[in-house]
Amino acid sequence: MSGENINSPFMSLESFVYKDPEPMLLPQTNFAAPFEAKYLAEDGEAIDPEAEEYVVFLNELQDDEFGETLYELIGELTSKFEGIIENESVNQPNYRGEMLRRLEMYVDPLIKATESMLETMAQGAEQTDLRTMSDLEIDEFIDSYVLSEEQQVKFENWGFFKAIKKVAKKAVKKGVRLAKRGLKVAAKFGFGFVFRKLKKVAMQLMKKVVATAINKLPIYLRPAAHKLRKRYFGKEVELEEGNDSVIDVGQLQLEFNIQVAELIFADNELALEMEEEHYHNEESGIANPIRELSQAREVFIQNITNLNDQEDLLPHVEKFLPAILPALRIGIKLIGREKTIKYIAGYVAKLIRRLVGSRLSKPLADAIVRAGMGYFQLEVGSEQNEARLAGTAVAAIVEETVRKVADFPEYVHEDPQLLEGFVLEAFEQAAAKYLPQLLPEEAYLKKPRLRHDIKYRGVWLSRSGKGKSIVFKKYSKVPRVKISPHKARAIKTFRKNRLNKFLQDQLGLPEGQTIEAQVHLYELVSGSMLSQITKFEQNVPGLGTASPVAYDQLLPLTKEVAGLLLDEPELGQDVVPRFLASQQIGEIGQRYYFLEIEGMRPRVSVEGSKKMLSRSSQAHAILDFPKNQAQISLYLNEREAQELTTQLRDHQTIGAVMVSLSELLDEQVKSAFSGYQLKLIHGSVMPNSTFTALKRVPVKLLERLTTNVKELLGRGLSNFIKKNYEKLIQIAADPADGLTFQIILKDPLGMTKIGEALAGRITPADSNTVDAQLFDIQIVAGYARN
Amino acid sequence: MREIEFIREQLSRQVNHWVLAANRLNNPNDLGSPDDWESLERYLRITLRRTLRESSQRLIQRAMRLQSELSVARTATDLKKVKKHIVEFRRTYLHTETTLDFYADTIATRGNPKIGDVLRVLDSLVFRSMKQVLDRLNQPTPNVLTYIDKGLGASILKAGLRLWDGGTVNPVAVIKIVRHNLMRPTSLVHEAGHQVAHITRWNQELAQRLESNLSTHPQVGKVWASWSSEIAADSFAFAHMGYAAIASLHDVLSGDDRFVFRFNRGDPHPLSYLRVLLGTAMCRRAYGAGPWDSLEHVWRRLYRLSSATPMVHKLVKASLPLLSEVVETCLYEPMASFGNRPLVELVNPERVSPIILLRLESELGDALYQSTHWLWTEALRLVALNGLQIAIHPEQMATLYSVQQEWILKLSNTLKAT
């Protein structure tokens, strides 16, 4: 090795051979066809093999932990941003530019460290031939870059840095494989080029993260992604269903991943530059609809609060309405349809007339205060604030009505008579939500939907941050409930997990005890994050911070849950399954609850500098169609891992041990295969669209695969535990929380058929495929995914 | 007329001064640095801040009333009344300040982050020791704020007591741990026993029972009854900590002869000599023979009864045969305060017997100190185990202290986030 390499930050590896830092142009040879077609598309056409490899790589890049990191970073920046606007006028010129500058300054240590890491890697790659390295050596090459102590103290949350490092590993490994076949940019320009491009893309992602923290835009799959899908699939591919998500970090990550995949798969530098340009420019066109909506709402509230009885309300509604639509994805279809908007504005103005004005605001505000008596006492207190309450409620009704109207089918918008009926219905539903029960009891008896609950009679109140923008909505009453063990078992939380497990594993409450809790109810609004809710709630014991320890205690309040927990189903809100996957993605209008339990202290796990609520036991599955195998990671949290090893130490029979494991296995595998923790590596499936893709699979096929996997796991795990008793006990003593079984099943029953169904070729459910072979089981300390 | 204006001017200055002074007490960050506040569990922080705010708000309101009173005062008599109210206000201000300062001082002991980390775990340990009993009696468990200070023994300011300002009810159990015992915190559980006995009214019931169960010696029975509050706390600590509590108590009480045989009528603390022997009697009753026998033997040898005054000598002689009856009464007799259950049914000392504790350690091995699950669920028993090992292997004390510190800091790291 040359003396010049002595100061290299990388470890000395055998395959590191000094090369002149010349661009590595490989001789073009005739390679055998590098891609292999495996699937047929819906129309019977063969899927482009390169497209398949590309999509498979995208799937490899898609990483839930990266999503969590982005979510936390956005949350952190949001807190920082809110801290800044406390002291700044939001109306100052170049407000957004100034905010961007300050937030970028805040993340500067993170940016600099990431840039420096990728630049050093680029330099390292110019001096060594990465193409000759094995995967392990590539890992070592990249892992050898560590943060200095000096860098570490400058910032707290290094998740982004670590995530980019992980992406770099995957990208280089893929690039090496392609380069070995003489393909793509890496082969032509070398890995120094790849690292520098990756640096550029990572910095663009960071810019988007900062912009998201300020804008809180619902993130849509941007045109770049659409274009790519067209290029590789020759047509549009279905997106995940559901209404507007608030912040969907999965999509933000997907966009970034597409850039990384483009970098690795681009044929020439020009094509790459064009993509980058596109990715970069998307940001500059983004307006700030959430902030504009906040400002328009504020003006609307002030105007209607001071309105006198003779004054016309219509101009105020007409001014407010256009600000609501851009903040909604579904609202986009109404933008530009002036006539329809005018009509809706006119009708809505008529409907709210009886609620506004200087004379009417006061009685309405009094009623709202009465409905929220006690809880909101501290925040009301002055006449001005009380008057605002009425105005805010009316604004919320208008927004909710417009949101529902925007979602009406096309034929409703086209027919004024139909539209009137539907608008009235939407208005009544919104009014039931935001107004106290002011009507005589007979009216509610005649039309029960005019109120959403009988038991508590609260209202949903908007809670505003310092910049007057609405952070979330909270139900004015905090019901006190008793939760028996049976009830807790029946209530489902995220990913179909049961509440009793949450109480036991995350809140550390003893099993089998009836608990008494005060239930705080929340609703997401456009641009809000759960971490903002928890940060805002300074007086609720257990909340008051943006940490995952707090926001992971917010659980989804569907109608079913609201029925079981509160006896009032209408206090819940149903959403499509993907919004029940985790706290990191939610729909506008989605509801959550927090259990305030006297004396309860949540269980916390510490992983490096990251503190979070202890994980629940869970399974993650990857159906890897090109390899025709299923990979399952079965994580046992610390409690269950210790209980398992206690049973083993007590020399209990394997039967007794497996009985304890079987319920967990059954529930978690079922949950994973229903789409919550399932990754489909398949040429026809875009990452982050598992739920939509699974719709193409006949239910019976999926059930068969799930049953097959459960049986195989049961059989395989019992054998494994019998043989590895000592190792299990040893791993359970590791300081990392819990342990993970990593299982590979080769050719599980029904998988081929599912692959065909995903490609759009529905096959009958019968199959004569042979039973799968249990390929491999490994066990690792702590939480791991394949 | 001019005279009145002069008086008003003088009073006005004072009133304004006190209004501003009262407002200054309203900022929690003036009482403790943000870092000190951060070192508390969030639950505790919210409870404390709320109480302190209420206390200072009451004072501010009173100051505002004083201001309005002065503004409408027209006559000399009115002003005289204002003057009287200013004097009263000053007194209230000082009481409120004492109340707030007390909390400020306790929170400030967390200024050292490492001490703060340990105290956070101690808060949690004490809380759990009480919760185990109070949950079953459907009583809420108060939050706990421990602080470190000089001295020989721990002490408690019980939650629920009215404080110096006359208006504030202490929202949390504030417990002092002495510096030398920071890594040997069994005495905190004794203090928790005081809080539990206060909430369940066990002290009164135990006093009555002791008096009636020791009726063969009415005079002696009366004396033991007068010690009921301390005996209750000792029993509670024994049930949770086993022999560790007794060994630790022994070390604190091992003063000179005068101290060990000192008897003050009205002092709720039992005669030290008898207190240690009561502890060893509890161990013998619960676990049979063990290291406590040797402790008792040495105790009796080192502190000869001949050093005691005749009156104390007589009291001890009469009490020794009654110790087993006292143990039965405290640990095994059903009490109305406990829902007609004996203490051992709520906190079973068998769980902290030396055999069980040592088996716990040998069976779980490293996992006992590494697994967050065990640290969380067995924290109290870990203190009992460590205390037991300190008692039987004093030569390993330094190592045992560092083992204790290590797991406490590990647990503290997880509590920090709550």
pLDDT in tens, A251-260: 788 888 888 8
Instruction: Give the global pTM.
Output: 0.81
Q: Per mean pLDDT, which range of A270-274, A317-321, B167-171, B299-303 is the poorest? A: A270-274
- pLDDT score, position A481: 97
Distance in angstroms (rounded) separating the CA atoms of residues A251 and A240: 11
Task: Give the best-scoring range by mean pLDDT among A118-122, A420-424, A591-595, B96-100.
Answer: A591-595
- What DSSP state is assigned to residue B174? E
- pLDDT score, position B323: 96
List b or e across A739-750, with b for residues whose CB sees 16 or more CB atoms inside 10 angstroms: bbbbbbbebbbb
Using pLDDT thresholds of 50, 70 and 90, give the confidence band for residue A31.
very low
Q: Which residues of B touch A541 (CB under 8 A)?
A: 42-43, 46-47
3-state DSSP assignment of residue A540: coil
Task: Give the best-scoring range by mean pLDDT among A1-15, A597-611, A637-651.
Answer: A637-651
Using pLDDT thresholds of 50, 70 and 90, give the confidence band for residue A386.
low
- pLDDT score, position A384: 53
Q: Which of B124, B365, B371 sits opposite A601 (nearest CB)?
A: B124
Compute CA distances A22 → A188, A547, A551, B57, B102, whole Å.
11, 48, 51, 74, 72
Taking a contact as any Cβ pair under 8 Å apart, which residues of chain B between 105 and 134 contact chain A? 124, 127, 131
Using pLDDT thresholds of 50, 70 and 90, give the confidence band for residue B79.
very high
pLDDT exceeds 90 at position B26: no
Searching chain A, which residue's CA lies closest to the CA of residue B407? A735
Q: Per mean pLDDT, which range of A149-158, B72-81, B391-400 is the poorest? A: A149-158
Distance in angstroms (rounded) separating the CA atoms of residues B32 and A320: 46
Distance in angstroms (rounded) separating the CA atoms of residues A680 and A173: 20
> Given an 8 Å threshold on Cβ–Cβ distance, is A605 in contact with B372?
yes
> Given an 8 Å threshold on Cβ–Cβ distance, is A733 in contact with B371?
yes
Mean pLDDT of B54-72: 90
Percent of chain B with pLDDT over 70: 99
> Given an 8 Å threshold on Cβ–Cβ distance, is B127 in contact with A599?
yes
Q: Which residue carries 């008051």 as its tokens?
A: A544
Q: Do A492 and A574 form a contact (C-beta atoms < 8 A)? A: no
The CA distance from A552 to the nearest CA of chain B, in Å, is: 12
- pLDDT score, position A3: 38
> Given an 8 Å threshold on Cβ–Cβ distance, is A645 in contact with B131?
no
Which positions ≥6 away from A117 have C-beta within 8 Å?
A145, A161, A164, A165
pLDDT exceeds 60 at position A82: yes
**Phi and psi torsions of A636, nearest 5°:** -105, 120
More confident residue, A300 or A102: A300
DSSP string for residues in A463-498: EE-TTS-EEEEEES---EEEE-HHHHHH-B-GGG-B
> Given an 8 Å threshold on Cβ–Cβ distance, is A602 in contact with B370?
no
Tens-digit pLDDT profile for residues A33-63: 333 434 444 444 555 667 778 888 888 888 8
Tens-digit pLDDT profile for residues A698-726: 888 888 888 888 888 888 888 888 888 88
Residue type at A654? Answer: I
**Phi and psi torsions of A244, nearest 5°:** -65, 130
Q: Do A678 and A690 form a contact (C-beta atoms < 8 A)? A: yes
Mean pLDDT of A126-131: 81
Using pLDDT thresholds of 50, 70 and 90, give the confidence band for residue A272.
low
pLDDT exceeds 50 at position A10: no
More confident residue, B133 or A693: B133
> Given an 8 Å threshold on Cβ–Cβ distance, is B46 in contact with A541?
yes
- pLDDT score, position A376: 47
More confident residue, B404 or A130: B404
Q: Do B125 and B155 form a contact (C-beta atoms < 8 A)? A: no
Q: Which residues of B touch A611 (CB under 8 A)?
A: 413-414, 416-417
Tens-digit pLDDT profile for residues B245-279: 999 999 999 999 999 999 998 899 999 999 999 99
Q: Do A673 and A616 form a contact (C-beta atoms < 8 A)? A: no
Task: Count Cβ atoms within 10 A of the Cβ of residue B250 and give its class: 0-12 exposed, 13-18 middle, 19 or more buried.
Answer: buried
A539 interfaces chain B, CB cutoff of 8 Å = yes
The CB-side HSE value for A327 (13 A sphere, CA atoms) comes to 28
Using pLDDT thresholds of 50, 70 and 90, give the confidence band for residue B41.
confident
Rounded to 5 degrees, what angle do the CA atoms B394, B397, B401 make? 150
Structure tokens at A524: 């997401």
More confident residue, A578 or A233: A578
Tens-digit pLDDT profile for residues A240-249: 554 555 677 8
pLDDT exceeds 90 at position A189: no
Distance in angstroms (rounded) separating the CA atoms of residues B162 and B164: 7
Distance in angstroms (rounded) separating the CA atoms of residues A689 and B208: 72
pLDDT exceeds 70 at position B114: yes
Within 10 Å of residue B295's Cβ, how many Cβ atoms?
21
B191 interfaces chain A, CB cutoff of 8 Å = no
More confident residue, A336 or A234: A336
Q: Which residues of A touch B124 (CB under 8 A)?
A: 601
Searching chain B, which residue's CA lies closest to the CA of residue A515? B135
B138 interfaces chain A, CB cutoff of 8 Å = no
Average pLDDT of the residues of chain A:
78
Q: Which residues of B touch A606 (CB under 8 A)?
A: 413-414, 417
Using pLDDT thresholds of 50, 70 and 90, give the confidence band for residue B399.
very high
> Given an 8 Å threshold on Cβ–Cβ distance, is B42 in contact with A639?
no
pLDDT exceeds 70 at position B284: yes
Task: Count Cβ atoms within 10 A of the Cβ of residue B243 and give its class: 0-12 exposed, 13-18 middle, 19 or more buried.
Answer: buried
Using pLDDT thresholds of 50, 70 and 90, give the confidence band for residue A329.
low
Which positions ≥6 away from B118 have C-beta within 8 Å?
B182, B183, B405, B408, B409, B412
Taking a contact as any Cβ pair under 8 Å apart, which residues of chain B between 345 and 374 contact chain A? 363-367, 370-374
B43 interfaces chain A, CB cutoff of 8 Å = yes
- pLDDT score, position B357: 97
- pLDDT score, position B233: 97
- pLDDT score, position A758: 80
Mean pLDDT of A611-624: 89
Q: Which of A598, A612, A733 sits opposite B365 (nearest CB)?
A: A733
Q: Do A245 and A219 form a contact (C-beta atoms < 8 A)? A: yes
- pLDDT score, position B287: 97
How far is C-alpha A372 from the geometric centre of its chain's CA atoms? 32
pLDDT exceeds 50 at position A132: yes
Mean pLDDT of B212-227: 94
Mean pLDDT of B341-352: 97
Within 10 Å of residue A81's Cβ, how many Cβ atoms?
21
